Structure 1
Amino acid sequence: MAKLGTTTVTKKGGVAGKLVGGGIVLVLLIIVLANLFNFADTDANKIGLHYGGGVVEDKKFKSIIPPGATNKLIGPGDTVYSYPIDQRSYIIGGAGADTDNADEVTVVSKDNVRLGVRVQVYFTLNREQAVLQSFHERIGLKTEAYEDHGWNDMLQSYFRPQIDRALAAVGTNYNWAELYNNEAKKSAFQTAAAKEFTRLLPAAVGGDYFCGPSYTGNNACGELSFTIQKPNPLDKGIIDGLEAKQRAELAKQAQEQKNQQVNVELQSVKQQVAMLGSNGYLLKTAIESGKIQFMVIPQNGNVSIPVPTPTAPTPR
């Protein structure tokens, strides 16, 4: 009777298949965990607004992420919008400020002269939770101010029109020459413009979203820093005319001083003539000028006076 043999079958790639399958499972697990656990970071000069965004909850405000936070656990699908908390600026006339094409605010003076004005505004963002949330939902989302390009667009859209309006409102109270070369008038103009700007800006943006440059989040909000440079007439010929007028005035003053000096000298001459007589004054003047020389001869002294020898005429 024949004995049947036993056959053993080996499955090739069994271990490799298990490894590949396990790797796929691990990747899927990581993806699932990444969606279940979301982390947020903020820079030291940024503050974050945490908004929900999951499939089972509304996209509403959840919390503030403080500056410098690391690996802050947030929900799946949540979003953090970051805004700057350090001092910021909006400058008109910065880039290319020394060129004829520099950006300036145009102001018409009381005497109808068009002036170019360069402005600097320094400020910080209000960090009070309710105020910051309102800023984000009213302004930030619309302009994407949480991004650098959006922040710049926001300033251009909201700051610039109010600066233009503020300067235009107060500029008509001053003549151009007062703003150009009168420091007291320029200071008053700047103060009035700053007051008008701080009134217009909250009304335009819908709240007190901006504080002074010294605001830290733990002190009073304070007023924005608003400064202007010396307004200059856009027509350069006006400045040339003013300088010519000033030169003429200086020349006139110099001539008046000379005339006063001549009058003083004339009065002195009249007094000396009255005291010495006409001949006496002429003799005194001749002696002082060196045209007449004299010698003091001591009493009983012998003096030899040299007599010039006449020169014989040259025969012809």
Structure 2
Amino acid sequence: MIKRTRAGALAAVAVLLAAGCAQTDANEIALNYSGGPIEGVNFLRCIKPNSVQPLGFDDSAYVYRYGQVPFDFSADPGAQRGPIEIVSRDNVKMTVSGIANFALNTTCEKLRSFHESIAKGYGIDFGDDNNPPGWKELTVRYVGQPLARAMNEAAQGYDVAALYNDAKTYTEWAAKVGTLAGKYIQELTGDQYFCAPTYRGTGQCGDMVLILQKPDPPDDMEKAMASRQTAKMQQLAQEQVNARVETELKSLRDLKGVLGAQWAVIYQLAKDGKVRTVPVPFGGNLNVTADN
């Protein structure tokens, strides 16, 4: 009797067994073990993507995702967890949704270590489920918790208004989250098991990619900040009107000093198109009529 065990990330039908063979597709990589409870379990090999590997009578094959894996923290029903709650420097609770994209470290040594030290204990079995409970529980523990810690630590440097309204502040905060998240995830797992989403088993592991939405304050505070922003814009518009009026008054005062009061008024009326002029004979009287 041939044994098989399937484990992985976002893979449907992880292992196909036909006539004692394990088959992986382009997005899968497998760990092949032999033995059982009596003779002990021994690691044999890694089975590369797009491979067919004969299996012994008492062999097991554990399959993992080869390529990008998303960790979704949002209100979406299919997310691994809900939005992450953070607290700003001025002690306001906010929520953040987003996605952490990564790839498993699929060098044979690292993948085996990840399987034996962490993943095996979660009993992950994909089967026909693209998001099995075991994988969800694992990623919440080893990605979600360190990510929440990083977000909160970074948020302590900023007030709620800046995190919500200021683009520069958001960019600085997100960059700090990325740096801290990588550090805390590796501290928790004990090794670099989560790499850049483009990683394919060779070269530098790299860092996971975070896509973070703007932190959201409570609804009542969001409305209050929107009202303050509207009032601020109205005040700015009024200040601009006041500045324009003051400039015009200064111009009139300057004209009065140069032309005299009567001619300053005439000049301004002519400038505004409110004066009708007619030819006057030399030596005659000048009459100016302002339009209503």
Same fold (TM over 0.5): yes
The structural deviation recorded for 1:180 is 1.1
Distance in 1, matches of 2:177 and 2:221, equals 24
Alignment counterpart, residue 226 of structure 2, candidates 233, 243, 255? 243
When Rg is computed on C-alpha atoms for both structures, the one with the higher figure is 1
CA shift, 1:122, in A, is 0.7
TM-score normalized by the length of structure 2: 0.79
The one-letter amino acid paired with 2:20 is: N
Specify the alignment match of 1:129 in structure 2.
108
Residues of 2 paired with 1:286 and 1:80: CA distance?
Answer: 93
C-alpha distance in 2, partners of 1:108/1:123? 26
1:251-308 CA deviation, whole Å, 9 max, x = no partner? 2222222222222222232233334434444566677634x75433489xxxxxxxxx
Would you tell me which structure has more strand in proportion to its own residues?
2
Is residue 52 from structure 1 mapped to residue 13 from structure 2 by the alignment? Answer: no
Query: Is the contact made by 1:162 and 1:200 (CA closer than 8 Å) also made in structure 2?
Result: yes
Residue 256 of structure 2 corresponds to residue 277 of structure 1: no
State the secondary structure of the residue aligned to 2:31: strand
SS at match of 2:142: helix
**Where do 5+ consecutive residues of structure 2 fail to align?**
3-18, 284-292
State the 1:135 CA deviation. 1.0
The amino acid that maps onto 1:233 is P
Work out the percentage of aligned pairs sharing the same amino acid: 28
RMSD between aligned alpha carbons? 2.7
2:87 alignment counterpart: 108
Matches of 2:188 and 2:211 in 1, distance apart? Answer: 20
Contact 1:88 1:122 in 2 (8 A): yes
1:303 match: none
Note closer, same or farther for the CA distance 1:51–1:250 as it changes in structure 2 (3 Å cut): same
Cα distance in 2, alignment partners of residues 115 and 67 from structure 1: 42
What does the per-residue CA deviation read over 1:108-159, in whole Å, with 9 as the maximum and x for residues that have no partner? 1001111111131111111122211111111221112353512223212322
Structure 2 counterpart of 1:199: 183
- Partners of 2:231 and 2:37 in 1: CA distance: 80
Which secondary structure state, in structure 1, belongs to the residue aligned with residue 82 of structure 2? coil
Q: Which has the higher contact order (CA 8 A, sep 6+)?
A: 2
Q: Does 1:254 align with 2:254?
A: no
**What displacement does 1:162 show?**
1.3
Find 2:138's aligned residue among 138, 148, 154: 154
State the alpha-carbon separation in 2 of the partners of residues 55 and 96 from structure 1. 39
| 1:178-197: CA deviation from partner (whole Å, max 9, x where unpaired) | 11122221111111111111
Range 238-247 or range 58-67, more displaced: 238-247
Amino acid at match of 1:90: F
Native 8 Å contact 1:108 1:115 kept in 2: yes
Q: 1:276 to 1:86 in 2, by over 3 A?
A: closer
Q: Which of 143, 150, 154 pairs up with 1:166?
A: 150
Which structure is higher in helix share?
A: 1
Please report the TM-score for the alignment, with normalisation by the length of structure 1.
0.73
Length, aligned pairs only: 258
Q: Is the 8 A contact 1:145 1:154 kept in 2?
A: no
Three-state SS of the structure 2 residue aligned to 1:52 is: strand
The aligned residue for residue 76 of structure 1 is 57
CA distance 1:205–1:256, shift in 2 (3 Å) = same
Secondary structure class of the residue paired with 2:35: coil
Contact 2:151 2:177 in 1 (8 A): yes
Q: Would you say the 8 A contact 1:54–1:75 is kept in 2? A: no
Please list every run of 5 or more consecutive structure 1 residues that lacks an aligned counterpart in the other structure: 1-30, 300-316
Q: Distance in 2 between matches of 1:48 and 1:293?
A: 96
For residue 176 of structure 1, report the CA deviation from its aligned partner.
1.1
Q: Residue 38 of structure 1 contacts residue 77 of structure 1 at CA under 8 Å; is this kept in 2?
A: no
